[in-house]
Chains A and B, each alone.
Chain A
Amino acid sequence: MSIITDVIQSTKAIIQGMGVTLSYIPKRKWTVQYPEEPVTMQPRYRGQHLLHVDELGKEKCVACFLCAAACPSECIYIIAKDDPRLPADRIGVDERYAEVYNIDYGRCIFCGYCVEACPKDAITHGYNFELSVYNRADLLKTKTDLLITTQVQSKNYRVAFSDEDVDSEYKEI
C-alpha cells in the first residue's frame, strides 16, 4: 500500500466523517444548555422528596413511620412527638407530628416506596435533582430541606406538561 492511497483514503474518511458532523448543524438541537437553560422533567420524575402541608399550612405527616418501614435502604429516620394543643395551634394535621424527619440521600435509591406507603399523602418525590454536595454529611437532609414550604426549588428544571413529548430524543435513535 502506497502512501498516496493512504492519503486518499484518510482524506475520504475525514470528509465522510465531517459530512455527518456538518449535516447535523442545520438540524434541531437536543442539547440542553444546563445550567443556563432549565432541564425538562417528566411529571413522574423521582427527585428529592417533598413533605406536604394541607390548605391551612399544617404538616400532613403524622409520623406513622410507614415510609421508614417501607424503605428498602433504611434511609428515613423519624422522631415522633405528641402535640397536645388544640388543632388550630398544632404544627401538623393531627396530634402527632414528626419532630425530626431525616432522609439520607447517600442511601436513598429513589424507589418511591415511601410515597406509596404514605397513608396521608404527606410525602412525594419532588423535582429537585441537584443533590451533589462537597461534604458527605450534607447528604443528610432534614425536615427543613424537605418541607414544601421551606425547600428551595432549583431554577434549573421545568416540569413537562402531561401531553408534552420529552422522550422523542431517545426514540429517534
Chain B
Amino acid sequence: MSTEVIKVNINSKEFEVPKGARLIDVCRDKGFDIPSFCYYSDLALQASCRMCLVRIEKMPKLQTSCTIICTDGMIVTTQSEEIEKAQRSMLEFLLANHPLDCPVCDRGGECELQEMTFDWGGLEERFIEKKNYAPEKYLSPMVANDPQRCILCKRCTRVCDEWMGEDAIEAGGRGANTVIGTYGGWLDCSQCGNCIEVCPTGTLLDGTYRHQARPWELAQTISTCSYCSDGCEMSLGSRAGELMRIVARDRYVNGHNGEFLCIKGRFGHPFVNHEDRLRTPLIRYKKGGKLIPATWDEAIRYTAEKLKAAAAAYGPDALGVVGSPRITNEANYALHKFATEVVGTKNYAATDAFSLKPFFDNLGAPLATHRDIRYAKTILLIGGEPEELQPLTAKQIRQAVSNGAAKLIVINSVPIRLVEHAAQFIHIRPGMENAAVWALGHSSNETTAAQKMGIEANELSALRQTITETEGDVVIMFGGELNAAAQMIVAQLANSFRADTRRVLLHPLPLYNNSVGAHDMGMMNGAMSVAEMLDATGSSIRALYVAGSFLPEHLRGREEALAKLDFLAVHELFETDTTAFADVVLPAASFAEIDGTFTNNDGLVQRVRQSIPPVHQAKPDWMITAALAAELGKDFGFQMSASAVFREIAERIPAYSGLRYPVLKDESNPVQARYNIVEPRDLSSALNELKQTVAALPDDGEKSNVTPRVGHELFKIGTLTDKVSQFHLLAAGNPRPDTVRVSPLYQITVDAKLERDAAVSGD
C-alpha cells in the first residue's frame, strides 16, 4: 500500500485514505458498520455472502464493498433504505435453510450469524417451508461438521488452502445442496483446526470440546502456547477449575498469530486436568524403594538436606542444576539464580535439543518477527521443517509466497512440503547443512561445498543472486542441524548481504516454547551441556536438581546414567522416565496454572497468565526453587509474586531491561527483547573450523526423495500429547472408521499397545 492519499466520500463525509485501501476496511475503520461473512482479511476474495453491499455513485448495481478498491473522488453510501433491504434480505436467505438449533449448537453465544441476526434479522420468519437436511458427521477425530448450518462463506476452504497449503476441504455438490466436505469423506491433514476457528457459524466445530460448555460460561484468559517456539497467543477457556478449550478467536485474543493455531496449541491441552497429574510431593526414602507421598515442607526439607550433604561431600560443582526450554523465564531465572548464588555450581544447563548460544553471541542482525516474515521478499530456509515443528512460521512463509510474491529458497536434504512453494530448492545430501552455511560464508567455498553437498555449483550462485537482487526484507531461517561455527556464520551473514534497499533479518527455529528464553536467562552458559552432565553422573556429578524431564534423545544410550546419582530431585507434571530414578518428585504447575513469560523465536516476550488454580498441590516451578533456596538459607525476595521475579530479570538481563508485566499487557502489541547486535566479527577461524567439519563429512549420503507425510513430527506422541486420546488415532495414521456417525472415539478402538515413539522433538 502506498503512502499516497486519496479522498473518498462516505455517507456525505470526506475521508482521506491511503491509495489502494479496500472499501470495506475503510468504512469499518471510519465507524460505518458493514456486515460481512465471507470477507476475511489477507485471504482471497470471495464476494459470495453479498452482505457488504454498498451504493457507489456511477455504478449500476449495489456493489460488494469487499471487492472495491477505493479510487479518488469515489462517492459511497453505506446506509440507505435500499441497502438495508438488500442486507436484510441476504440474511433472510442465509437463515432460510439454517436450522434454528442454537440451544444445542456449540457456537451459540459466539456465532457471527447470531450476532448478525440481532442486527439485520427480521422479526418474523417468512420461510415456512421444510428446511434442507444434511446429516451431521465427523470429518476427523478433531473436526465435527454439521453441514446444515453452513452459509458457504468458504473461509475454511480458503484458510486450508492459503494458510496451511493443504487444500484438505472443499465444497461439493451444487446450489442449495452444496456442502463443505473432504476428499474421500475423512479429513486427512495436519488437523490444525483453523477451519473451526474461522467458521462464523456452527458448521465446523471442535470435536473434542463438543457439547461441553457454552462460551459465556467460560472464563477467557489470554496466554501463550506451551508447545513450539512460535509462541502463538491464545485464549484459554476455563470453567470451575477445568481447562475446557483453547481458541485464538479474534473476539478473545488478538496476538501476532491472528486466529491461527496448530493442532497442538488448539487440541493438546487435556494434560492440564488429566487424572495422571502428580498430586503431592513424593519422596523415595531408600534407593530402589517406592515413591511415597509427602508434605511440601517435608519434601523441601528433605531435598535441601540431601543437596547440602552432596555439596559438603563432593563440593558444589558435583551438583548439577537442569532447567528446561518448556518452563517460564521466571522458572529458568530462579533455577539459574539457585545454581549460581545458592549452590555455587558451574554445572547448569537446560534440556534443549540444541543450544542457540553461538547464534546469540554473534548476532549480526535483528530477529525477524512473524509479521516481517509475512511481508518479506526473500526467505532462505536452511534445514529445519517449520510446517511440522513451527507451524506458524510455515504459515507465514506460505502466505509470503502466495499472497506476497516472496521468493522462498529451501536448503534441505529432504523435499519437505514447503518445497512446493519454493522458488529454488537446493537438495543437499543428508547432514550437509553446515556445508551450505560454509558456502554462504564465502563464495570461494562454493565449488567444494557444492561437490560435497551433491549439487551443481550454480545452484549456490543462483541463491546468492536471488538474495542480492532482493529489494525489501530477506529473512534467513535455520534449524537445529547447524553446529556452533555454522550458527556463528549465519548470525553474521547479514553483514555480507545488507544493502540500502535490503534489510536482512534472522529467524532461528528452536523446538520449544521457551528455548530462546532459557538461553536468555543464562541457562545455556553453564560449563557442561545436559549430555555431558549425564555422562558424568556418578563421577563428577553426584546430585541433580531437574526442572522438567530429560528429552528421550538425551537419555537414549544413557539409560543407567540417572541410576548412578546419589540424589535426584525433579519438578514434573507427570511420572516420566526421569522421575523413575528420582529421590524427590515435586508436582509442578502447568502453563495454564501460572503467571509468567515465554520468549518466542522472534524474541517476543509474551505473557503466560493463570487460567485455573494449580491442580492438586502443584506449585509454580520458580516458587519451588525459591522455597528450596529459602530452606538452604537464601531468601530470593520474590514475595510469592511472579511479577517480582520478572522485575529482577529486567534489572539483571540487558535484553529485558525496562520490561515489566504492565508493558507486556497488550498481546496485540508484543514487545521484542532487545538483543545486542554485535559489530562484524572476523569469521576466518569459524570458517576454518567449519571447513574441517565439512571435509570430515562423508560425501556418499543418499538424498531422500520422499516428502515426509503430514504430521510425522506434529503427531508424535510425547508426555503431554499422550494425554489427548485423539492424538493416538492420528499417530496411528488417522484411520477412517467404517461408520462415522458421531464421536469417532466411541467407534474406533485405539490400540492400547501403540508404541510410544521415542520423540526427539515430541510435544
Contact = CB atoms under 8 A, between A and B. Distances in A.
Interface of A: 62-66, 68-69, 80-84, 86, 94-96, 119-120
Contacts of B213: 65, 80
Interface of B: 101-104, 108, 210-214, 216-217, 741-743, 746
Most buried by B among A62, A65, A69, A81: A65
A94 B102 CA distance: 12
B211 A63 contact: yes
Contacts of A66: 103
Contact of A64 (B103, B743, B746): B103
9 contacts: A62-B103, A64-B102, A64-B103, A64-B104, A65-B217, A69-B217, A82-B212, A94-B104, A95-B742
Nearest to A85: B742
Q: Which 8 A-B pairs have the closest CB atoms?
A: A64-B103, A84-B742, A96-B211, A82-B211, A65-B214, A84-B743, A119-B103, A94-B104
A120 B101 CA distance: 10
A122 B686 CA distance: 75
Contacts of B746: 84
B106 to A, nearest CB: 9
B103 A95 contact: no
Contacts of B210: 82
A95 B216 contact: no
Contacts of A84: 741-743, 746
Contacts of A95: 104, 211, 742
Nearest to A92: B104
A96 B104 contact: yes
SS of B interface (majority) = loop
B104 A65 contact: no
A68 B211 contact: no
A41 B742 CA distance: 46
A81 B213 CA distance: 9
Contacts of A119: 102-103
Contacts of A96: 104, 211
A140 to B, nearest CB: 15
A84 B746 CA distance: 8
Nearest to B239: A79
Given A65-B216, A66-B103, A84-B746, 12 more contacts: A62-B103, A62-B104, A64-B104, A65-B217, A69-B214, A80-B214, A82-B211, A83-B211, A84-B741, A94-B104, A95-B211, A119-B102
Most buried by B among A81, A82, A120: A82
Nearest to B136: A95
A66 B742 CA distance: 25
A69 B104 CA distance: 15
B54 to A, nearest CB: 35
Contacts of B211: 63, 80-83, 95-96
Nearest to B215: A65
A148 to B, nearest CB: 19
Nearest to A122: B103
Nearest to B214: A65
A81 to B, nearest CB: 7
Nearest to B742: A84
Contacts of A83: 211
Nearest to B108: A64
Contacts of B103: 62, 64, 66, 119-120
A83 B136 CA distance: 14
B216 A69 contact: yes
Contact of B101 (A65, A80, A82, A94): A94
A167 to B, nearest CB: 36
Given A95-B104, A120-B103, A64 B742 contact: no
A66 B109 CA distance: 10
Contacts of A82: 210-212, 742-743
Nearest to A66: B103
A95 B102 CA distance: 13
Nearest to B745: A84
Nearest to A68: B217
Contacts of A120: 103
A62 B103 CA distance: 7
A126 B412 CA distance: 72
A82 B209 CA distance: 9
A96 B211 CA distance: 6
Contacts of B743: 82, 84
A79 B212 CA distance: 7
A64 to B, nearest CB: 4
A63 B104 CA distance: 8
Contacts of B216: 65, 69
Nearest to B242: A79
A96 B741 CA distance: 15
Contacts of B214: 64-65, 69, 80
A68 B212 CA distance: 15
A69 B211 CA distance: 16
A121 B214 CA distance: 19
Nearest to A82: B211
A76 to B, nearest CB: 11
B15 to A, nearest CB: 40
A86 B102 CA distance: 20
Contacts of A80: 211-214
A65 B211 CA distance: 11
B238 to A, nearest CB: 14
A37 B214 CA distance: 45
A82 B210 CA distance: 7
Contacts of B212: 80, 82
A127 B640 CA distance: 52
A81 B742 CA distance: 14
A78 to B, nearest CB: 8
B564 to A, nearest CB: 49
Most buried by A among B101, B104, B213: B104
A51 to B, nearest CB: 15
A119 B101 CA distance: 10
A75 to B, nearest CB: 15
B172 to A, nearest CB: 24
B393 to A, nearest CB: 35
Contacts of A68: 217
A54 to B, nearest CB: 14
A95 B108 CA distance: 15
Contacts of A86: 741
Contacts of B108: 64
Contacts of B742: 82, 84, 95
B337 to A, nearest CB: 43
A82 B211 CA distance: 5
Nearest to B743: A84
A168 B133 CA distance: 55
B154 to A, nearest CB: 26
Nearest to A84: B742
A51 B584 CA distance: 51
A69 B210 CA distance: 19
A81 B104 CA distance: 11
A50 to B, nearest CB: 18
A65 B104 CA distance: 10
A107 B488 CA distance: 66
